[in-house]
Structure 1
Amino acid sequence: MPLVVAMTALAFSGYSALMPVAPLWAAQGGADAGGVGLVNGMLMLTTVLTQLMVPAALRRFGWESVLVTGTLFLGLPTAGLFFGDSLGLILLVSGLRGIGFGIITVTGSALIAELVDPMRRGEAIGVYGLAVAAPQILFISTGPWFAERFGFETMFAVGLLPILGAVPAYILGRRMERLPKPLERAPYRNLLRPILLLLAVTLAGGAIITFLAQMVSAPWMAMVALLHLTVFAAASRWRLGGLADEFGARRFVWPLVVATTIGMALIAFSVREETTQIAVLLMGTSLVGIGYGGLQNLTLLIAFDGVKRAHYGSASAAWNIGFDAGTGIGSVAIGAIAAGSSFSTAILVGGAISLLTLPLAIRRTPKVNG
């Protein structure tokens, strides 16, 4: 677990540093809202395509090679951003980084499922979630401010940190046994419900992270609001893990969907005029953060409960595809809507999509043992 946490923290530091900053770098280079949305959209496109291949890659090449490759692909291409702010270059860098991110996300959550007793899995996912969320608190909230104050190169340097993650990845890969090979097709039908719930909430969260710096009337507002979102997301993801172990995940899902929807409506209201209503914005980002973090934990638990141990790798891949597809769709779709109307309208659409998943949140999915 310490190796998993170290690798994850370094990888997500590089990911988080550029999540809001790379789109801002594209905007500085002259890209419009649609072009800016493509930056994280490209990142998530290659992430999802890679995630589809990770279970097979683990079987063929083993943990060591796959984990080290993931950290290097996530970190090394970031150096390209030092050479210019053209949209084409930024999209190329984002696409290459997505390969590494796809590997790290699938392997990280699969390792948790393998290493931890199912009775304490919620707690372990909470700890893993903190390793994911802590860099987001530090870098997503402050990244745009640091870039504007000290130069974009400062955050590009942070984006290189996943390279250091190759060390724990190598050690972990050497120690890990292969996941058991499935003898039958994974029951992907059991995974559809948690994946759709996750996709909707990450669409909302991804849109806020990508565009908040451009929606508000002062840079400090974006920093404070993103700090609210990431802190509440981290607390929710961590705390709900233990509660889900004790009481079950299902009873917490639908309130989080409602919280996300209300939060998106508040954010849309706060940015509808030229002067941002900061109090309303902070209430909105806090609610979206609670839903964003909590549903990440709970949907992963539900996904693992829906398959046998031999299919943990497939469940991890499917969950991560839902996460990153939602983030990418949120970036591209919300950017396109905003370019044709306004950010306020676009954010309302994101909240409506979250609300549409409420029937799925109420429905029960049976556990699969073994």
Structure 2
Amino acid sequence: MTGKGSGGASPGSVWAFPGMPALGLVSVFGFSGYAALLSVAPLWAARGGADAAGSGLVNGVLLAATVLTQLGVPALLRRFGHGPVIAAGVLLMGAASPAYLVSDALGPVLALSAVRGVGFGIITVTGSAVVAHLVPAARRGAAVGAYGLAVAVPNLLLLPASVAVADRWGFGWVFAVGALPVLATPFAYAVGRALGPADRPAGGAPRLDRRTAWAVARPTAVLFAVTMAGGGLLTFAPQVVDSTDASWVLLVLGVGTAACRWGAGHLSDRHGAERFLAPLLLLGAAGLCLCAWGAQRGGDLGLMLLGAALAGVAYGGLQNLTLVVAFHRVDRAHIPVASAGWNIGFDGGTATGAVAVGAIATASGFGAGFLALAVVCVAALPLCLPAAGRPEPRTADEVA
């Protein structure tokens, strides 16, 4: 299944591989439920009386539950297969969203965020792992980019729109959109059928040696740094500038993320992924410094937009490239482990960024919070040095 069409296929043809369209639909519906509430759920808690630290906890709890779930997803896949597990994930995410309307008190909001986090943990690990099974290694960068585009489009459309919709027409409409993952249930089973024998790997968990663990940990730590930036900006942009301006900031961030998550895949297939990590981290740090300056100037929209654009390029590009690096450094038996590790870095970083910026902002303002995230990106630069071990596969040009 993964061997056909590996060399001369056009960049867009990864969608022709069996299972990729169903995976794309699961991703679009699943991440719609995530994106619609990412900035709005903290606002809902703030409306109920939570301060910046409390509203930061909303996404912190969501993603803490996500990370804890991700640790167990490889075992769930071995026991039940991808179809039932993905279906459970989208149902948990979607069904919990309308229940926010019951109360805007912090306790119930955090509880529902935890339920959604369990579903989101399942969707994220299974989605990125499936990509590596459906396409050959030489096309993996393009496939990860295509998957990333399906993930990024809901963020691009719903993150900025959700804040404006909640402000103008009420939170109920946003919580209804948050139920969209339920519609992905039949496509979850289609993904399982497309995987065939890879749906439920035989035997127990593969042994994770020290070199493999480090191969996954290094790109995951780079990802952790840049997703801390994303978590801080996505959670608190609506509290740094007013709701209309926040929609523009989130739109710019989303456009940069979507374009670069998709485009970075083709670059990595042709030139390798690791050489782009350090420049993108520096670009992200520069964007965060601009956002910090904008926050210090009372929410200067021009600085926030420019900072969000630079941060979005780094945020999207590094999402793709770090996953490609992690997959290239492990054998096929460890792909679910690499996927789980990468997703833990992604969601752990997002949660940590939200909680850290909330805590720092409560004491010293949002400018100090964004500046701290820039320091984290710079501190992660040594992890971008190429590591010894399994070489990257031949590029698409070499295969062709």
Query: Shorter-chain TM-score: what band?
Result: over 0.9
2:116 paired residue number: 97
Counterpart position of 2:40: 21
Residues 294, 300 of structure 2: 8 Å contact kept: yes
Query: Matches of residues 318-357 of structure 1 in structure 2 within 5 Å?
Result: 318-357=341-380
Query: Is 2:214 the counterpart of 1:189?
Result: yes
Quickly say closer, same or farther: Cα 1:369–1:244, change in 2 above 3 A.
Answer: closer
Distance 1:61 1:368 in 2: 33
For residues 328 and 227 of structure 1, do their structure 2 counterparts lie closer, same or farther at Cα, with a shift above 3 Å needed? Answer: same
Aligned length: 368
TM-score, normalised relative to structure 2: 0.90
Give the match for residue 29 of structure 2: 10
Shift of 1:180: 4.0
Please name the residue that 1:302 is paired with. 325
Calculate the aligned-residue CA RMSD, in Å: 1.3
- Find the counterpart in structure 2 of residue 314 from structure 1: 337
1:108 aligns to what? 127
Q: Which residue of 2 aligns with 1:293?
A: 316
CA change 1:265–1:365 in 2 (3 A) is farther
1:81 paired residue number: 100
- The within-5 A match list for 1:154-165 is 154-165=173-184
Q: Tell me the distance in 2 between the aligned counterparts of 1:183 and 1:71.
A: 27
Say if 1:106 and 1:320, in contact at 8 Å, map to a contact too.
yes
Say if 1:73 and 1:368 are closer, same or farther in 2 by CA, change over 3 A. Answer: farther
1:172 positional shift: 2.0
Contact 2:133 2:195 in 1 (8 A): no
- Does the 8 Å contact 1:123/1:242 carry over to 2? yes
Unaligned stretches of 5+ in structure 1?
A: none
Q: Where in structure 2 are there 5+ consecutive unaligned residues?
A: 1-19, 394-400
Partner of 1:126: 145
Whether 2:385 is the aligned partner of 1:362: answer: yes
CA distance in 2, matches of 1:366, 1:224: 43
3-state SS of the aligned residue for 1:142?
helix
Partner of 1:246: 270
Between the aligned partners of 1:185 and 1:320, the Cα distance in structure 2 is 17
Please give the secondary structure, in 2, of the residue aligned with 1:284: helix
Choose which of 208, 212, 217 in structure 1 pairs with 2:233: 208
- Number of the residue aligned with 2:251: 227
Q: What is the alpha-carbon distance in structure 2 between the residues aligned to residue 18 and residue 272 of structure 1?
A: 27
Task: Give yes or no for contact 2:98–2:172 (8 Å, CA) kept in 1.
Answer: no
Matched residues in 2 for 1:38 and 1:32: separation? 10
SS at match of 2:297: coil
- Are the counterparts in 2 of residues 268 and 345 from structure 1 also a CA contact under 8 Å? yes
Q: CA deviation at 1:360?
A: 1.2
Which of 73, 82, 89 aligns to 1:54? It is 73
In 2, Cα distance between equivalents of 1:365 and 1:342? 42
Q: Which amino acid aligns with 1:230?
A: G
Does structure 2 retain, via aligned residues, the 8 Å contact 1:200–1:326? Answer: yes
Identity, % of aligned pairs?
Answer: 47
